[in-house]
Amino acid sequence: MTRRDRPAPRPRRPRSRAGLLLAAAALAGTGIAPPGAAHAGAARTAPFRAADTGARITAETRLGPNEVDITIDSPSLGKSVKTRILLPKGWSPDAAETWPVLYAYHGGQDDYTSWPRNTDIEGWAAAYEAIVVMPEAADGAYANWYNYGRGGTPKWQTFHTQEVVQLIERNYRANGTRAAIGDSAGGQGAITYAARFPGMFTHVASLSGVLWLRAPGMPALTLATNALNGQDPFAIYGFVVANADNWRAHDPYELAPRLRGTKIFFSSGTTGEPGPGDPPGTPWDVGLFSEKQVGETNVAFRDRLDELGVPYTADIYGAGRHNWPSWIRVATRIWPDLMASIGARRA
């Protein structure tokens, strides 16, 4: 949505000797963990299986015993991008067991390292027997771009909902039980994907996502944000009036009836005032102004679900900026519920 205030980089935990050896192997170009590394399982010998589109994993780099970066050559994007994976203890490419997956989508002006850079998601994940996947999303708006009716690349929706899902399930012992969480644009993406593909996720959570894309003033704010990101603002959804059907097709508010049967959580601030731990702000503070605008769409989305009789859980918490401190407070609270929804056992 907009550039968010980020906390100072979180000091990374010291790596074990095994972790250092893994990193050295990656730097040497092997990308393969040495046999016997703690919890890393056997070195992969079988080739990676491709997705139906032909998307394939071209590199695997182990960052630690349970942390992997993969490079995906994606036909849907027309380029290669990375995805980070957190694996449960005891994971092995040859394990008989399979694990449920939580997808963590990042916000605008960020990348696939956003969650581990700003939160302790590695610690959260380590407490449960589940796989956590953080795919690249760039500033793609979690959509297959309209491109003035021509379609074509980038197809971020196809990348996330088909290519990444299939590559994880075919190569990392993931089963078909999935949940998703996202901040800002990633929150909008999580809710939109759940609505466009009912049954794909058992549980979705949006942290300050825009949940009424066509709310008064929101199209202008969306177009301006995309323009500031250096993109053609009309290439994503098209023109607001002339291509209204395409805007509606990606609007959580419009798609709300399709969410019935999916467990839904969403949260946002609404007052445009600093929340707990936030520095003082001014009325023109972009982090406060944008959160107030986002909050209005969350209130409208809540009212829409009430009208439809679709169950949900919401935390419309009033004061708070469009930033990580707010999202961390919420994410740490709902993480156990997300894990329970996919049947992830305590590690």
- pLDDT tens column, 187-216: 999 999 999 999 999 999 999 999 999 999
Query: Tokens 């690249």 belong to which residue?
Result: 136
Beta strands 99-105; 174-183: pairing state: parallel
Determine the residue type at 215. A
Is there a contact between 199 and 176 (Cβ–Cβ < 8 Å)? no
Task: Return the pLDDT at 21.
Answer: 31
Token pair listed for 134: 């953080």
pTM above 0.85, yes or no: yes
CB neighbour list of residue 41: distance below 8 Å, 6 or more residues apart:
33, 91, 92, 93, 94, 95
Beta bridge partners of 61: 69
- Domains recognised in the chain with CATH numbers: 66-341 (3.40.50.1820)
Residue ranges of the chain with pLDDT lower than 50? 1-42
Q: How far is CA 216 from CA 41, 226, 242, 300, 305, in A?
A: 53, 17, 17, 11, 19
Q: Where are the beta strands (DSSP E) in the chain?
A: 56-64, 67-74, 79-86, 99-105, 131-135, 174-183, 203-207, 263-269, 313-318
- pLDDT tens column, 111-141: 999 999 999 999 999 999 999 999 999 999 9
Q: How far is CA 227 from CA 105, 189, 220, 230, 236, in A?
A: 21, 19, 11, 5, 11
